[in-house]
Amino acid sequence: MARKRMTKKELKQPDEILTYLGTLTKFLSDQRTKVAVFVLAALLLVTAIYGYRAFVYQRYMRENGQLWSIVSKIPENIRNETDKQQQDLIIVKSELEDFSSKLRSKSVQLFTMYYIANVNFRLGYPTNAVEEFRHILDEEEAPEVLRYITNLGLGYSYETLNRYEEAIQSYRTAENIAVGSYNKGSALYGMARCYELMGNMDMARKIYTDIIEKTPDYPDIEFIKIRLSTIS
């Protein structure tokens, strides 16, 4: 078989590559100081970026841990609280407010604000709680899980103040955000309860029925059935 003859262009390609490499080598050699400075600057920038991110994350973890150490002191029982539990709540509120003033992490600060509002509600200051809950919802950085529990807390606060229409709106917003049967059921129950208090039994029955049909594994489903039976 006759050997294919290479064209001039094909013969020239290896020489061109060598020429390019030579030119690049000479350029890097001539500019080695500038190149070294550029590479060093790039490395320092990358190190600074990752270093800052690590610092911010460590600060968040530290502050988050401090928050939960305070929150763990909140009494769990929210019905018929004793005088001692009330005093414990006052102490926790003071700790949370002092802690909030020193925070740098925005996320931890927003959750701290939620717990301050929650404690104010339990201490019998629903108007203060409303103001604090609404302030959280004004923050774009607030994550969905925080928006859910904040709307739920806002609903409870409005309900305590007999502002049922506003409470229903807050519960409805919470229900739209909610993930899982328990969370959806809790928001829907708040709405139904408000309609009952307003005397709108038709809407209350409808929502109680929705809870039973749409969230059958809601933990308090038997209680919901009892509520429905009492107004049917």
Q: Is the pLDDT of residue 43 over 90?
A: no
Poorest-pLDDT segment among 46-50, 123-127, 165-169, 189-193: 46-50
What's the mean pLDDT in 188-213? 95
Q: What is the DSSP string of the chain?
A: -PPPPPPHHHHHHHHHHHHHHHHHHHHHHHTHHHHHHHHHHHHHHHHHHHHHHHHHHHHHHHHHHHHHHHHTTS-S--SS--HHHHHHHHHHHHHHHHHHTT---HHHHHHHHHHHHHHHHHTT-HHHHHHHHHHHHT-TT--HHHHHHHHHHHHHHHHHTT-HHHHHHHHHHHHHH--SHHHHHHHHHHHHHHHHHHT-HHHHHHHHHHHHHH-TT-TTHHHHHHHHHHH-
Residue 11 lies in a domain: no
Residue 177 lies in a domain: yes
- Which range of 4-8, 17-21, 203-207 scores highest in mean pLDDT? It is 203-207
Domain that residue 151 falls in = 39-75+83-231
Query: How much is the pLDDT for 57?
Result: 63
Confidence band of 169 (pLDDT split at 50, 70, 90): very high
Q: Higher-confidence residue: 154 or 179?
A: 154
Residue 218 lies in a domain: yes
Q: Is the pLDDT of residue 166 over 50?
A: yes
Residue 7 lies in a domain: no
Q: Higher-confidence residue: 55 or 58?
A: 58
Residue 4 lies in a domain: no
Residue 145 lies in a domain: yes
> Could you give the number of structural domains in the chain?
1
Q: Is the pLDDT of residue 115 over 80?
A: yes
What's the mean pLDDT in 105-111? 88
User: The pTM is what?
Assistant: 0.73
Q: Give the domain CATH number at 205.
A: 1.25.40.10
Confidence band of 59 (pLDDT split at 50, 70, 90): low
Query: How much is the pLDDT for 53?
Result: 56
Q: Higher-confidence residue: 58 or 99?
A: 99
Residue 182 lies in a domain: yes
Average pLDDT, rounded, for the chain? 81
What's the mean pLDDT in 186-191? 95
Confidence band of 181 (pLDDT split at 50, 70, 90): confident
Residue 130 lies in a domain: yes
Query: How much is the pLDDT for 12?
Result: 44
